């Protein structure tokens, strides 16, 4: 994890229309587009091919159709319809039935009821096919609304759905208690958004310490938790505590992002841990891509080298 200032910098430039134009032009062009390392492609056939390749490596998958913060109701309905189509395409393709999505893509920002209704439509289509649906967690402005939508659907009887908690947020220990009491599944992450000091730990050491403490709580009290991180120290902490506490390897999983630490993904799977790869795709890849650059400025060098090669 890098410091808060870099996160803020990349978050700010992700709003630049010029950079977006440039990136959209070159990022996905051909197999060698510089964003292709992190994003499987713009179309569903490309993500299905990527998912098959990941499954061949003995890893599990979750697919994310990129998009967030829609500003009009028709846009949210369109994204929902696209998710419904993706559910059908996944079933037809015979790959694992697991998707991740963002509520702001489904209209949460416009009206929480709209986000709730759209997610319900997706669950109604996906659940009979045995899908698991993970609601990604966005910035702290959405935490309450996201957990409320999740809880409402849980109370309606949807059980193949889970949430994400961020160790960077000071409130997460409390949220963890709320979600584990329900018996719901949590994905634990450090948190990809720049957050104010009142709400979030700012220093890496603090975010990491919170991650370890939440990991231990999830291993003790959680339901099939997912530890989503590429940080070897966090992974080691989870492994050690699970072994000490007598938690079986099939009672939790690790998750990593497509294109990041593929070596570690394969090594963990070889040790007998379940590893799930989060595979994003779609035309709205720019904000996701910028968050990945923000986490690791060395990625900027990777992008520049790819651009120079292309020229």
Binding site for ligand FDA (CB under 6 A): 1, 136-137, 164, 166, 189-193, 228-231, 255-257, 260-261, 278, 292, 295-296, 299
Q: Quote the least distance from Cβ 190 to ligand FDA, whole Å.
A: 4
Q: Which residue lies nearer to ligand FDA by CB, 50 or 72?
A: 50
Strands (DSSP E) contained in the chain are 60-65, 98-101, 132-135, 161-166, 185-189, 226-228, 253-257, 275-281
Q: Which residue lies nearer to ligand FDA by CB, 239 or 292?
A: 292
Q: Quote the least distance from Cβ 186 to ligand FDA, whole Å.
A: 11
Residues 96/51, Cβ–Cβ less than 8 Å? yes
Classify 231 as helix, strand or coil.
coil
Catalytic residue among 36, 185, 187, 276: 187
Active site residue 204: no
Q: Quote the least distance from Cβ 79 to ligand FDA, whole Å.
A: 17
CA–CA dist 214, 229 (Å, integer): 13
Q: Residue 180 contacts by C-beta under 8 Å, 6 or more apart in sequence?
A: 186, 217, 218, 221, 222, 223
Q: Quote the least distance from Cβ 252 to ligand FDA, whole Å.
A: 14
Residues 54/265, Cβ–Cβ less than 8 Å? no
Q: Which residue lies nearer to ligand FDA by CB, 60 or 72?
A: 60
DSSP H or E stretch at residue 212: helix 204-221
Residues 152/139, Cβ–Cβ less than 8 Å? no
Q: Quote the least distance from Cβ 213 to ligand FDA, whole Å.
A: 15
Q: Which residue lies nearer to ligand FDA by CB, 14 or 229?
A: 229
Catalytic residue among 64, 109, 136, 175: 136
Q: DSSP H helical segments within 27-169, as ranges?
A: 44-56, 73-93, 112-126, 143-155
CA–CA dist 112, 257 (Å, integer): 28
> Which tokens belong to 287?
């904000």
Residue-wise over 107-143: b if at least 16 C-beta within 10 A, else e? bbbbebebbbbbbbbbbebbbeeebbbbbbbbbbebb
Active site residue 187: yes
Q: Which residue lies nearer to ligand FDA by CB, 1 or 179?
A: 1
Query: What amino acid positions are annotated as catalytic residues?
Result: 136, 187
């Amino acid at each position: 994890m890098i410091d808060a200032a870099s996160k803020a910098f990349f978050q700010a430039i992700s709003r630049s229309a010029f950079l977006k134009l440039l990136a959209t032009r070159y990022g996905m062009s051909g197999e060698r587009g510089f964003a292709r390392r992190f994003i499987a492609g713009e179309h569903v056939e490309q993500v299905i091919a990527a998912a098959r390749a990941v499954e061949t490596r003995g890893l599990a998958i979750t697919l994310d159709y990129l998009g967030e913060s829609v500003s009009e109701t028709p846009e949210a309905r369109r994204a929902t319809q696209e998710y419904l189509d993706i559910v059908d395409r996944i079933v037809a393709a015979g790959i694992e039935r697991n998707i991740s999505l963002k509520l702001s893509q489904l209209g949460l920002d416009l009206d929480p009821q709209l986000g709730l209704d759209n997610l319900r439509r997706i669950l109604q289509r996906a659940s009979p096919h045995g899908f698991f649906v993970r609601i990604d967690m966005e910035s702290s402005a959405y935490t309450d609304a996201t957990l409320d939508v999740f809880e409402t659907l849980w109370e309606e009887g949807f059980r193949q759905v889970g949430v994400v908690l961020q160790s960077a947020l000071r409130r997460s220990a409390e949220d963890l208690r709320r979600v584990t009491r329900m018996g719901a599944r949590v994905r634990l992450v450090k948190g990809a958004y720049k957050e104010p000091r009142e709400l979030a730990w700012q220093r890496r050491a603090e975010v990491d310490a919170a991650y370890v403490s939440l990991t231990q709580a999830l291993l003790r009290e959680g339901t099939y938790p997912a530890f989503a991180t590429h940080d070897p120290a966090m992974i080691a902490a989870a492994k050690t505590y699970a072994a000490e506490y007598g938690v079986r390897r099939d009672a939790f999983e690790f998750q990593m992002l497509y294109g990041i630490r593929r070596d570690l993904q394969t090594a963990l799977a070889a040790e007998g841990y379940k590893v799930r790869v989060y595979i994003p795709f779609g035309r709205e890849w720019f904000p996701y891509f910028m968050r990945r650059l923000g986490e690791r400025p060395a990625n900027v060098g990777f992008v520049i080298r790819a651009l120079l090669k292309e020229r």
